[in-house]
């Protein structure tokens, strides 16, 4: 059976709203997909500032932003549907929302972007709040992408997503996944004084030198010694790691080079922790960081000792993998099938996560 779904993802790097119109097909329990139309809709300066500062808002202003962002997403989806002639074709919208508070130890995870408002504006059924049930069951609520990797993306030993946060999935007897460290969000903050949104291809980082004392301090954080399952909030990058580099007195090139080395080393450590002497394996890298060729080169350097070869797929999958998986999760929720793997998150059981909002008239 083919489902025609729009998946929405707003990552912690705040580069915009990823939109993917996907045909998801279940044929006898074997899943496949087609990315039909995709787009990344940039935030204007006002919305960007509101999202960046969401965790500092009063309860009332936070609730207003939650509704406003849901309305904004609905308006963008209507424009996307108009642009691609998709009226009466979209059966479901699956929205991740934008993560604000994420403190699983306190039973809290928050993704703003009101699903009810999104459904009301579009007139299309919506699935949202995809992480909350897992956290309620004692899980990390993250990562939630691995079930999509398992069902859709084939025979890789590792899946690595390089977004605002880097997370890794391990395709083993027991499927594992967890956050590794902050990534693009910090790199983008380090390059921002130049006026650039990001270090294209890692070109600036490639000209720098690693500052060993700063690298040592980055790698010494207690989070890296924790066992999986584990997940990160955005403020680990912005409030913990970024100040270490920003206050080290380094040139921009050296700061970028040092933090790039930190990301690659932590990924190397993660892979080594699961290496059991296999003669060969592959790692698929997606997310915006997959376009950072210098970072990918450094990751390859650190994982080659474990006989891993990194692969970057076509640019559409690189950029929209998470939106694709959100679309699948929406379908699974609609079918009342598990959307989150407890082996990944540490919850007491796997669960059917997500709130359903009926946008269409009865």
Each domain of the chain, given as residue ranges in start order, spans 2-139+332-357, 146-317
CATH superfamily placement of domain 146-317: ATPase, nucleotide binding domain (3.30.420.40)
Q: What does the pLDDT read at residue 70?
A: 98
Question: Which pLDDT value is given to residue 31?
Answer: 96
pLDDT of residue 279: 86
User: Which pLDDT score, from 0 to 100, does residue 115 have?
Assistant: 98
Q: What is the pLDDT of residue 155?
A: 82
Residues of the chain predicted below pLDDT 70: none
Q: Do domains 2-139+332-357 and 146-317 have the same CATH topology?
A: yes
Please give the pLDDT value at position 143: 87
Contact between residue 85 and residue 96 where contact means Cβ atoms under 8 Å apart? no
Domain 2-139+332-357 carries which CATH code?
3.30.420.40
pLDDT confidence of residue 154? 76
Quote the pTM value.
Answer: 0.86
**Which pLDDT score is estimated for 91?**
97
């Amino acid at each position: 059976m083919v489902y025609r779904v729009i998946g929405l993802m707003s990552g912690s790097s705040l580069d915009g709203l990823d939109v993917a119109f996907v045909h998801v097909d279940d044929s006898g329990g074997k899943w496949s997909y087609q990315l039909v139309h995709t787009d990344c809709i940039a935030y204007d300066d006002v919305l960007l500032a509101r999202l960046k500062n969401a965790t500092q808002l009063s309860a009332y202003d936070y609730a207003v932003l939650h509704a406003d962002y849901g309305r904004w997403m609905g308006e963008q989806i209507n424009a996307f549907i108009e642009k691609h002639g998709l009226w009466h074709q979209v059966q479901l919208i699956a929205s991740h929302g934008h993560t604000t508070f994420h403190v699983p130890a306190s039973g809290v995870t928050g993704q703003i972007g009101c699903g009810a408002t999104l459904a009301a504006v579009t007139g299309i059924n919506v699935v949202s709040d995809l992480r909350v049930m897992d956290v309620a069951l004692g899980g990390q609520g993250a990562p939630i992408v691995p079930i999509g990797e398992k069902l859709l993306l084939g025979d890789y030993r590792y899946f690595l997503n390089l977004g605002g946060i880097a997370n890794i999935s391990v395709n083993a007897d027991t499927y594992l996944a967890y956050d590794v460290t902050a990534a693009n969000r910090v790199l983008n903050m380090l390059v921002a004084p130049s006026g650039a949104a990001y270090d294209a291809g890692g070109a600036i980082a490639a000209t720098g030198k690693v500052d060993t004392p700063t690298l040592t301090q980055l790698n010494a954080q207690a989070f890296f010694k924790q066992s999986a399952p584990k997940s990160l909030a955005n403020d680990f990058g912005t409030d913990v790691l970024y100040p270490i580099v920003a206050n080290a007195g380094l040139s921009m090139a050296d700061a970028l080079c040092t933090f790039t080395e930190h990301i690659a080393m932590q990924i190397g450590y993660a892979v080594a922790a699961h290496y059991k002497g296999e003669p060969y394996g592959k790692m698929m890298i997606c997310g915006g960081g997959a376009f950072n060729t210098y970072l990918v080169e450094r990751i390859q350097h650190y994982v080659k000792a474990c006989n891993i070869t990194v692969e970057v797929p076509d640019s559409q999958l690189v950029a929209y993998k998470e939106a694709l998986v959100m679309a699948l999760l929406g379908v699974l929720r609609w079918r009342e099938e598990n959307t989150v793997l407890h082996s990944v998150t540490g919850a007491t059981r796997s669960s059917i996560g997500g709130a359903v909002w009926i946008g269409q008239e009865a």
